[in-house]
Amino acid sequence: MFFDSPLTARTVGIAIVNGNLLLRTEPWKDLTHDRLVWLYRHLSLIRLFEERLRWLVETGVPVGAVHYYTGQEAVAVGVCATLETTDLIASNHRGHGHCIAKGVDVKRMMAELYGKATGTNRGKGGSMHITDVNVGMLGVNPIVGAGATHAVGAALSAKVRGSNQVAVAFFGEGAAGIGALHEAMTLAAIWKLPVVFVCENNGYAQATPVEYAVPIKNIADRAAGYNMPGAIVDGQDVVEVWDSARASVNRARAGLGPSFIECKTYRYYGHHQGDDPHRYRTVEEEEAARARDCLQCFRTQVLERGLLTERDLSAIDSENTARIDEAVAFAENSALPDLRELYTEVYVPNGVA
């Protein structure tokens, strides 16, 4: 069991209450200046990327079907900040944030959304399939729950190959109902695989509220059924996410098996571009959620603690805006795929048998 783990219990101070993993640490003292800058750089880059994307969609640029990650940035950033480049993540349909936090180049992401030959997937994937294996991003995957099984397979692979990699599965609370997730959790638990299940509970599966579709208040409670620790964290607080994720990642890397983190967060916009969320939720609810905006929360904390200045933060925002400008220009100026691409890569080529 998790609380028997000397590594995690001693170094990051974890308690289990009612089967759930709760944090009792003072993570701020472990956050270096460089780490804080990294966190804000990625929070801001995701926010600006998505805001630009919304603008592009609204001005009629054909970027295909997109699911904005805005509002949930702290989850992807807090978790990926604990990973090495060689670690592996599997993402869901709302995956832009995971891609950026894991280090996928925003130029090639934007080019992929434009369906250009220079995109991450050379224009053959689009928003819902962005992949970059060179940074351990195994794919945005729009079949709910499917990515969790791949993360488990990646963790199995790491264990068999003795590679010491950790895998992370990102999924929403909408995946709480699909069998694939439960099968994945079963396999991870019985084989003690180095995998972390990260549930982003943003309150809505398309237009279905969580309280309708999930019969328990905290999805992390499900972890107990798989004999793995489950943590409930404030998904608007990147530091809390980071703190919980490092405990889980350390545990996985130490060979102690899987764990589950439920991040309570909020999706600022509709399910996908063009969806009006006011058909299924109130403005008051949105305003309450936005009052706890994860970027603002981080800014307030670092400023109050005197760890970063307004100037530091603004400089990061400006750099990121320039990167997004560059990404859009790169996408717009890139070539479309050659029509022959339609027929290539259907089968995997074989080398010498």
Partner 1 sequence: MSISDRVLTFGQAINEAIRQEMRRDPNIIVMGEDVAGGAGRAHLGLVDAWGGPMRATRGLITEFGPGRVIDTPIAEMGFVGAAVGAAMTGLRPIVEIMFVDLIGCCYDQVMNQAAKMHYMMGGQLELPLVIRTAYGTRGFEGRTYGGGAGAQHSQTLYSIVAHIPGLKVVVPSTAYNAKGLTIAAIRDNGPVVVFEHKFLGTAAKGGVPEESYVLPIGKAEVVRRGRHITLCGIGRMTHVCLEAAEILASEGVEAEVVDVLTLAPLDEATILESVKRTRRLVVVDEDTPTASMARDIAARVADKGFDWLDAPIKTINAPDTPVPFAAVLEAHYVPRTPLILSAVKEMVG
Beta bridge partners of 264: 201, 234
DSSP, collapsed to helix, strand or coil, labels residue 222 as helix
DSSP 137: B
Q: Which is nearer to partner 1, 17 or 160 (CB)?
A: 160
Give the footprint of partner 1 on this chain (CB under 8 A): 88, 90, 119-125, 129, 131-133, 138-139, 141, 143, 146, 148-158, 160-161, 163, 165, 167, 179-180, 182-184, 186-187, 190-191, 344-351, 353
> CA-to-CA distance for 95 and 89, rounded, in angstroms?
11
User: Is residue 238 a contact partner of residue 78, using CB atoms and an 8 Å limit?
Assistant: yes
Q: Which is nearer to partner 1, 86 or 300 (CB)?
A: 86
**Least Cβ distance, residue 115 to partner 1 (angstroms):** 11
Alpha helices in 136-178 (DSSP H): 146-161
**Least Cβ distance, residue 330 to partner 1 (angstroms):** 16
**Least Cβ distance, residue 38 to partner 1 (angstroms):** 25
φ/ψ region of 203 (left if φ > 0, alpha if ψ in -120 to 50, else beta) reads: left
Q: Which is nearer to partner 1, 80 or 90 (CB)?
A: 90
**Least Cβ distance, residue 306 to partner 1 (angstroms):** 43
**Least Cβ distance, residue 120 to partner 1 (angstroms):** 7
**Least Cβ distance, residue 210 to partner 1 (angstroms):** 23
Angle of helix 33-58 relative to helix 238-253, nearest 10 degrees, comes to 110
Q: Which is nearer to partner 1, 160 or 339 (CB)?
A: 160
Beta bridge partners of 76: none
Q: Which is nearer to partner 1, 77 or 195 (CB)?
A: 195
Read off the tokens for 23: 């944090």
**Least Cβ distance, residue 244 to partner 1 (angstroms):** 23
- Burial (CB count within 10 angstroms: exposed 0-12, middle 13-18, buried 19+), residue 16: middle
Read off the tokens for 301: 């904390």
Q: Which is nearer to partner 1, 75 or 146 (CB)?
A: 146
Closest among 246, 224, 250 to 233, alpha carbons compared: 246
Q: Which is nearer to partner 1, 62 or 351 (CB)?
A: 351
Angle of helix 310-333 relative to helix 106-113, nearest 10 degrees, comes to 40
Q: Which is nearer to partner 1, 183 or 312 (CB)?
A: 183
**Least Cβ distance, residue 183 to partner 1 (angstroms):** 3
Q: How many CA atoms lie within 13 A of 167 on its CB side?
A: 29
> CA-to-CA distance for 73 and 325, rounded, in angstroms?
20
